[in-house]
């Protein structure tokens, strides 16, 4: 018990002294995770779409070759970035650029670290999302594609209007997963001097050696971020699903005379009665 009280005192002490640093870290972590997840999703979407462009034997050879090539490139990208640690990718890109350009191009200063961090996390997220999007697209009933084709939609129109909105809904939990993973895994970006939440901890304990109390603050901080994210994502998912009920448009003369309801009540009552009738039919 004493220890817990002591821990509480230390946490308060640390927080009161270094809260701008912790909060700054949280802010940077959230911005990086959010931006990188969004960019990663866009990369994933593009890869997923490119990967699922259909081609038949009748298509001209250049088109088939190009599509095959795209699939190979995407495959290589996914395997390389999914198969190596992000911390290493960060180092690889951060130091690789000046190495290859003879120091002509490098990630300098604060902007440099931000750019490098966003690139690394985005590319990493994109590699995971590419597979999620592909899974999301192939999980949609082929009938949806056929329905869209049958009214003359092109592949792009079918994708943007019909398939992707449904695939996106299905992969929302995956996007959420990726965001939460990013919130936590951006902590490895300290390796390229990016000052996120965990970097704040590293700096603070370097000054005063209060490892455990600072780690406790970090634990609480990360958990708060991820729990909030989970909660918001659930809310977004519910929004995407839309209402469970719908309103009947009562201006139609046919339904008025068809005896679907006897006296106009609240919209829900009418709806319920109609649904019951449908079921009973």
Partner 1 sequence: MSEAILEIRHLSKAFGAHVVLRDIDFTVRPGDVTSIIGASGSGKSTLLRCVNLLETPTSGEILFHGRDVTGRGMNAASYRSKVGMVFQSFNLFNNMTVLENCMVGQTKVLKKSKEEARQNAMKYLEKVGMAPYINAKPRQISGGQKQRVAIARALAMEPEVLLFDEPTSALDPEMVGEVLAVMRDLANEGMTMLVVTHEMAFARDVSNHVVYMADGVICEEGEPKELFAHPKQARTREFLSRFTGQVSGD
* 60 interacts with partner 1 by CB under 8 A: yes
Does 273 participate in binding partner 1 (rule CB under 8 A)? no
Q: CA-CA distance, 24 to 102, in Å (whole number)?
A: 34
| Nearest approach, Cβ of residue 35 and partner 1 (Å) | 27
Least distance in angstroms from the C-beta of 154 to partner 1: 5
CB of 104 to partner 1, least distance (A): 47
| CB of 198 vs partner 1, minimal distance in Å | 39
Count of residues that interact with partner 1, criterion CB under 8 A: 33
Per-residue mark of binding to partner 1, 223-262 (x: CB under 8 A)? -------------------x--xxxxxx-x-xx-------
Q: At 16, list the tokens.
A: 């009161």
Which CB, 207 or 249, lies closer to partner 1? 249
Binds partner 1 by CB under 8 A, chosen from 106, 169, 184, 273: 169
* Residue choice 16, 56, 103, 209 for contact with partner 1 (CB under 8 A): 56
| Residue 170 binds partner 1, judged by CB under 8 A | no
**Residue 165 sits in the site that holds partner 1 (CB under 8 A):** yes
Q: What is the DSSP string of the chain?
A: -HHHHHHHHHHHHHHHHHHHHHHHHHHHHHHHHHHHHHHHHHHHHHHHHHHT----TTS-HHHHHHHHHHHHHHHHHHHHHHSS-HHHHHHHHHHHHHHHTTTSS---HHHHHHHHHHHHHHHHHHHHHHHHHHHHHHTS-HHHHHHHHHTT--HHHIIIIIIHHHHHHHHHHHHHHHHHHHHHHGGGGGGGT---HHHHHHHHHHHH--HHHHHHHHHHHHHHHHHHHHHHHHHHHHHHH--S-----TT-HHHHHTTS-SS---HHHHHHHHHHHHHH-
Would you say 23 or 172 has its CB closer to partner 1? 172
139 binds partner 1 (CB under 8 A): no
Nearer to partner 1, 153 or 205 (CB): 153
**C-alpha span between 276 and 281 (Å, rounded):** 9
> The tokens of 90 are what?
């960060």
Q: Return the range that interacts with partner 1 (CB under 8 A); candidates 24-32, 71-79, 95-103, 154-162.
A: 154-162
- Give whichever of 79 and 146 is closer to partner 1, judged by the CB atom: 146
Residues that bind partner 1 (CB under 8 A): 56, 58, 60, 141, 143-144, 146-154, 157, 161-162, 165-166, 169, 242, 245-250, 252, 254-255, 278, 281
């Amino acid at each position: 018990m004493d220890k817990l009280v002591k821990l509480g005192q230390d946490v308060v002490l640390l927080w009161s002294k270094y809260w701008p640093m912790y909060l700054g870290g949280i802010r940077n972590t959230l911005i990086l995770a959010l931006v990188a997840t969004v960019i990663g999703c866009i990369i994933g979407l593009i890869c997923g779409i490119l990967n699922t462009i259909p081609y038949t034997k009748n298509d001209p050879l250049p088109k088939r070759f190009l599509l095959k090539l795209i699939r190979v490139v995407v495959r290589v990208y996914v395997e390389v970035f999914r198969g190596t640690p992000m911390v290493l990718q960060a180092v690889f890109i951060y130091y690789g650029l000046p190495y290859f350009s003879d120091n002509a191009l490098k990630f300098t200063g604060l902007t440099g670290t931000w750019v490098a961090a966003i690139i690394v996390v985005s590319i990493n997220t994109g590699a995971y999302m590419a597979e999620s999007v592909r899974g999301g697209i192939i999980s949609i009933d082929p009938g949806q594609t056929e329905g869209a084709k049958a009214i003359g939609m092109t592949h792009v129109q079918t994708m943007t209007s019909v398939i992707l909105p449904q695939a996106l809904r299905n992969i929302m939990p995956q996007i959420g997963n990726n965001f939460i993973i990013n919130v936590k895994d951006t902590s490895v970006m300290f390796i390229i001097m990016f000052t996120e939440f965990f970097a704040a901890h590293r700096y603070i304990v370097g000054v005063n050696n209060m490892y455990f109390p600072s780690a406790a603050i970090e634990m609480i901080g990360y958990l708060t971020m991820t729990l909030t994210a989970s909660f918001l994502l659930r809310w977004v998912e519910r929004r995407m699903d839309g209402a469970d009920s719908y309103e009947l448009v009562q201006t139609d003369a046919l339904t008025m005379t068809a005896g679907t309801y006897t006296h106009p009540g609240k919209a829900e009552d009418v709806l319920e009665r109609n649904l019951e009738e449908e079921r009973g039919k």
